[in-house]
Structure 1
């Protein structure tokens, strides 16, 4: 039986995981100061992450061995690995070349509402009234924050916002599709396999565009690539998994509301980014809308 102490411990490690995940956008923006492009910093992220996930895949190779896994299941793992951690990450990194890290996190935070919409269109799951209101609220918040950013940064903000929205959609599709694969493979095994697929996709992408010279970056870029891989990818992925196990996915969804706020704070400290009052208002509207979705999900899950 779960104790109050264990519950609050789950909250703490969940918050830590979200903050570490939120630091990714800030470190990517810092890397761009050294004249590195999106696919190059994504390559370093995957290159440093790959050994960790390869070890995990090997360690958990016998997990759920009693469950029958068909060839088409492995094909779906490849597909969702491509969607969730290759395309979603690539779109995210490209979008960050055009917009602020704080605004990126606000737009990316739409993915829970995208999950609901995808479930409605492809899995025929109904959308409740409160979910519909929450979705409308979150997109209103994005419009408010984004409109003000366009007035400040110009038309490039449209392009950056478009790529971040693509990232949210592809990541949401990964979450929807992986829901029925995780029980077959197990969380650790499925995540490791999907990450390995995404790493290979990034390696192929980079080798097609460049001549695979991995020793031409500055020292700062390698350091940031390592930090993104370990502290903004591998470690938080385990912290989040542990938190969900301890406090439930519904409670964690509420904890995740700290994501945009933590990115705004980190971007202000390390990038000297400032959101206008209108953008802050839009961010709070988005967070409130996601909390409505999470609260309603918690009720329907019971």
Structure 2
């Protein structure tokens, strides 16, 4: 009776691996819808500040519940300094980075935005070597060159698709803003390692998201013209816009973040991160399909080079 048990165990393990890979791919696809939804909401007249505020405000209750449950599981209460550090890092990674990204998406295609953000691991490597004491290895140079060659091609694709129009003049500014978003997120990842060890990933993420939401609320309070605060915090949008913002918050933010955690628990961080290569491809297909963005050979080549470069970089320990 003992002999048949091995295949059953092996089969169960394989099924768990398949399930983990499936939810990792779903998470990558859901994340890839973010720029599509944002560009679509822009076309309906939604502005940056109301969009990011509502996105975070709708997601906040979910993270508060997870944060509260995680707090209850702590054997020792964290110090004030630990909490303040997590708050500051959250403002960098989820407030500053999100604001730069949303402003940049006003001027560049969803395809270019997704590739620039997807290339953030290259910035993590560079910043880690320059400021965080990580060892330089010559093996990282070819993947970095491949990655940035791909970004250059996609940048040229955006400029070429817009021709001599006024919108083409805004592509450099949009690319700079999205690059700033990738840069601040890379800093967030490097700085968050210590806080994640101190608080755990779930509690840290909840604190970071909550602090970013408060930061956006404070910006709205101080930047809103007199008598127009309500139009930012609770704008008079159509049902279509509200559904789009809810999808941006829940389907492109909350759900994939929890799916990634579940995937890591089943197949590990390496396989989960590799499944993220689906993201730029999915964004490109959705942008061409829903937003009528153009797709040229240069665009395909740029996407392929960035995905290849980041994938090779991720394989170097």
| Matched residue, 1:180 | 194
Contact 1:150–1:157 (Cα < 8 Å) also in 2: yes
Query: Would you say the 8 A contact 2:109–2:158 is kept in 1?
Result: no
Match of 2:74 among 52, 64, 67: 64
Is the 1:63–1:189 Cα contact (8 Å) retained in structure 2?
no
Query: Deviation per CA, 1:43-75, whole angstroms, max 9, x where unpaired?
Result: 110111111111111122123333x63322212
The separation in 1 between residues aligned to 2:137 and 2:151, in whole angstroms, is 21
Matched, 1:217 2:240: no
Contact 2:100 2:178 in 1 (8 A): yes
220 and 107 in structure 1: CA distance in 2 versus 1, 3 angstrom threshold: same
**Structure 1: which 5+ residue stretches go unaligned?**
none
Larger Rg: 2
The root-mean-square deviation of aligned C-alpha atoms, in Å, is: 1.5
CA contact (8 A) 1:142 1:286 kept: yes
* TM value normalised by structure 1: 0.94
Structure 2 residue aligned with 1:251: 271
Alpha-carbon offset, residue 199 of structure 1: 0.8
Q: Is residue 2:87 matched to residue 1:73?
A: no
Deviation sequence 1:247-279 (CA, Å, 0-9, x none): 221222211111100101111221122221101
Please, which runs of 5 or more residues in structure 2 have no aligned partner? 1-8, 163-167
After superposition, where does 1:127-142 map in structure 2 within 5 Å? 127-142=136-151
Instruction: Report the Cα offset of residue 134 of structure 1.
Output: 0.8
> Please, which of 42, 45, 49 is the counterpart of residue 35 of structure 1?
45
2:243 matches 1:229: no
1:295 matched to 2:315? The reply is yes
The one-character-per-residue Cα deviations of 1:216-269 (angstroms, maximum 9, x if unpaired) are 223222211111111000000000111122222122221111110010111122
Q: Confirm or deny: 8 A CA contact 1:77 1:193 kept in the other structure.
A: yes
Question: Which residue does 2:6 correspond to in 1?
Answer: none
Q: Return the alpha-carbon distance in structure 2 between the equivalents of residues 17 and 149 of structure 1.
A: 27
For 2:306, the equivalent position in structure 1 comes to 286
Question: Post-superposition shift, 1:208?
Answer: 2.0
Deviation at 1:85, TM superposition (A): 0.7
SS in 2 for 1:19: helix
Q: Work out the CA distance in 1 between the residues paired with 2:177 and 2:108.
A: 10
- Measured in 1, the distance between the counterparts of 2:296 and 2:46 equals 28
Q: Does 1:170 align with 2:180?
A: no
Q: How does 1:76-155 map to 2 (within 5 A)?
A: 76-153=85-162, 154-155=168-169
Measure how far apart 1:175 and its partner are. Answer: 0.9
State the distance in 1 between where 2:291 and 2:129 align.
Answer: 39
Instruction: Tell me the equivalent position of 1:161.
Output: 175
- Comparing 283-292 with 215-224, greater Cα deviation is found at 215-224
2:16 is the alignment partner of 1:6: yes
Superposed CA deviations along residues 96-131 of structure 1, whole A, max 9, x for unmatched, are: 111111111011111111111121122110132222
CA displacement 1:124-144 (0-9 Å, x = unmatched): 101322222111210111011
- In the alignment of these two chains, the number of paired residues is 296
1:141-166 deviation digits (Å, cap 9, x = unpaired):
10111023223332211111111101
Normalized against structure 2, the TM-score is what?
0.89
Distance 2:13 2:107 in 1: 46
Deviation readout 1:5-61 (Å, 9 max, x if unpaired): 212211110010011011011001110112111111111101111111111111221
Deviation sequence 1:169-220 (CA, Å, 0-9, x none): 1111111111121121111111111100011111111222223211322322
